[in-house]
Amino acid sequence: MRILLVEDEPKLASFIKKGFENEGYQIDIAYDGRMGKSYFEYNEYNLIILDINLPYINGFELCAIIRKQNIQIPILMLTALDSINDKITGFDTGADDYLVKPFAFNELLVRVRALIKRSANYVNDNHVLKIADLELDLLSKSATRSGKRIDLTTREYALLEYFIRNKGKVISRVTISEQVWDVNFDTNTNIIDVYVSYLRRKIDKGFTPKLIHTVVGMGYVMRIE
């Protein structure tokens, strides 16, 4: 499980990071809203923890940005102010839960576990990912386009799922290597490009609109054009 923590207080961020790592979670820390936005756009997370009072982009604004791009990811907001108006604003911008500082780590842990479990149940209830006429069934691990079944290898399936979950985002080769195959990117190989080419032939050749696009110098993006 991978968590993104956006918190500008170094001591609190370190405390939270240590607690989750002791529980077996992987956690990335962003110390301001712009950094948090960048981390979210180039990585995949199971849950996001946002402080409200962040430099550059505040927690409410960042929550709204994230929610526009990903309706499923659980978001928990942290604040030093126990204000009803703040809570309403947080929920209105897309937060799933709210925790007031100071708090015991165990309370944060319980809330995070509950949100991740709820998110997993949501995926089970909404197990088909779609873009245009392309559908990916997460339960049967199958893909179809215009109703036609597409046979995929395990690696192609994982790559396609990552593309669909991050549709509209530019994804670098480094990110694909680390997030899809969980290995360090090797600049001396073109294996990522090879598999993207395989996938393109299967899901784009003979179909319109094209869905996988190259962004020169940056990577790939899945979008309708």
Over the chain (225 residues), what is each successive 10-residue block's mean pLDDT? 95 96 95 95 90 94 88 86 74 87 94 85 69 88 92 88 92 87 70 93 95 95 92
pLDDT for 133 equals 93
pLDDT for 122 equals 56
For 132, phi then psi, to 5°, come to: 55, -130
Q: Give the chain's domain count.
A: 2
Same domain, 12 and 103: yes
Domain ranges, residue 218: 128-222
Same domain, 81 and 33: yes
pLDDT for 172 equals 93
For residue 45, give the nearest of 26, 58, 62 by alpha carbon. 26
Question: In the Cβ-directed half-sphere of 160, how many Cα atoms lie within 13 Å?
Answer: 31
Same domain, 161 and 104: no
pLDDT for 193 equals 92
pLDDT for 196 equals 95
Mark which of 64, 96, 125 sits at the end of a domain.
125
Same domain, 144 and 106: no
pLDDT for 180 equals 80
pLDDT for 183 equals 61
Same domain, 179 and 73: no
pLDDT for 149 equals 94
Same domain, 112 and 142: no
Same domain, 19 and 46: yes
Same domain, 30 and 85: yes
Alpha carbons 29 and 195: distance in angstroms, whole number? 31
Residue 217 belongs to domain with CATH number: 1.10.10.10
Residue 72 belongs to domain with CATH number: 3.40.50.2300
Same domain, 147 and 77: no
Same domain, 76 and 9: yes
